[in-house]
């Protein structure tokens, strides 16, 4: 059994590194893979380091490019991935993955990945690795507990959803990838996950809730597709 978890940068490093979350998350990972038949693939986002450096880039150039913004964000995801990989060095056998299209499997209990290349978010990396390693589900952890019917910051009538189809979710997130966009799952990854028939569970950072998801118990979050 292989579980894929995309860990949003907003919860790894919302401002500074969230050490309490990281410690609890690592304990949960170790407990899960302690059963020899279970493995995990972990992908990290960029969080505050990505935002700060992207903002600095925008401030010092007249016409910022998406390619450069993506490249900066990717570097930040790899910093976070390197930290998580080091924290879990006792259960990882391979180095941090930066080219998920070359992965066909892994030997240790845990595989850690960062960003890939401009035009592709860490959500897409999660989908790519799920496909490569035969996982049928991606758990996407972020700073929101559920997907909403619309952006609640813009639409006061938006309501949280327990379940949503891929077609309805694609209507919510659109079709174009924008570096730094604050979406529950990016449009390019959404399209590919729908094509593969993957299920994505979008949930918040609560560790007890994550443990419920991993154990197949009732949880707070949104099930997309599947």
Cα gap 46→74, rounded to integer Å: 7
User: How many domains does the chain fold into?
Assistant: 1
Is the confidence at residue 179, as pLDDT, over 60?
Answer: no
Q: In what helix (H) or strand (E) does residue 164 lie, and over which residues does it extend? A: strand 163-164
Mean pLDDT of 9-24: 93
Average pLDDT over residues 168-196: 77
Average pLDDT, the chain: 90
Give yes or no for residue 178 having a pLDDT over 80: no
Domain range for 95 is 2-225
pLDDT at 128: 94
Q: What is the pLDDT of residue 38?
A: 92
| pLDDT tens by residue, 65-115 | 989 999 999 999 999 999 999 999 999 999 999 999 888 888 999 999 999
Give the residue-averaged pLDDT of 10-33.
94
| 183-to-28, 88, 141, 172, 187 alpha-carbon distances in Å | 26, 28, 12, 9, 9
What distance in Å separates the CA atoms of residue 81 and residue 200, rounded to the nearest whole number? 21
What would the pLDDT profile of 119-155 be if each residue is shown by its tens digit?
Answer: 888 999 999 999 999 999 999 999 889 988 877 778 8
CATH number of the domain where residue 193 is located: 3.40.1160.10
- Dihedral of the alpha carbons of 37, 80, 127, 107, in degrees to the nearest 10: -30
Let me know: does 40 contact 172? Beta carbons within 8 Å.
no
Could you give the percent of the chain with pLDDT greater than 90? 69
What pLDDT is attached to residue 180? 53
Three-state secondary-structure class, residue 158: coil
Average pLDDT estimate for 199-221: 96
């Amino acid at each position: 059994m292989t579980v894929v978890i995309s860990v949003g940068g907003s919860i790894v490093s919302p401002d500074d590194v969230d050490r309490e979350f990281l410690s609890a998350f690592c304990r949960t990972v170790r407990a899960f893979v302690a059963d020899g038949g279970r493995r995990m693939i972990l992908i990290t986002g960029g969080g505050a380091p990505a935002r700060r450096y992207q903002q600095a880039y925008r401030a010092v150039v007249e016409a910022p490019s998406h390619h450069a913004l993506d490249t900066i964000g990717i570097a930040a995801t790899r910093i976070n991935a390197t930290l998580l990989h080091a924290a879990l060095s006792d259960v990882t056998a391979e180095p941090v993955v930066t080219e998920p299209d070359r992965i066909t499997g892994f030997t240790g209990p845990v595989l850690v990945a960062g960003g890939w290349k401009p035009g592709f978010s860490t959500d897409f990396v999660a989908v790519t690795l799920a496909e490569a390693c035969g996982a049928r589900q991606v758990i996407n952890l972020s700073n929101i507990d559920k997907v909403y019917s619309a952006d609640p910051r813009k639409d006061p009538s938006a309501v949280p959803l327990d379940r949503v189809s891929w077609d309805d979710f694609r209507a919510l997130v659109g079709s174009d990838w924008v570096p730094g966009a604050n979406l529950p799952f990016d449009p390019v990854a959404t399209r590919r996950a729908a094509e593969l028939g993957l299920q994505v569970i979008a949930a918040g950072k609560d560790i007890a809730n994550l443990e419920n998801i991993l154990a197949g118990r009732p949880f707070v979050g949104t099930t997309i597709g599947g």
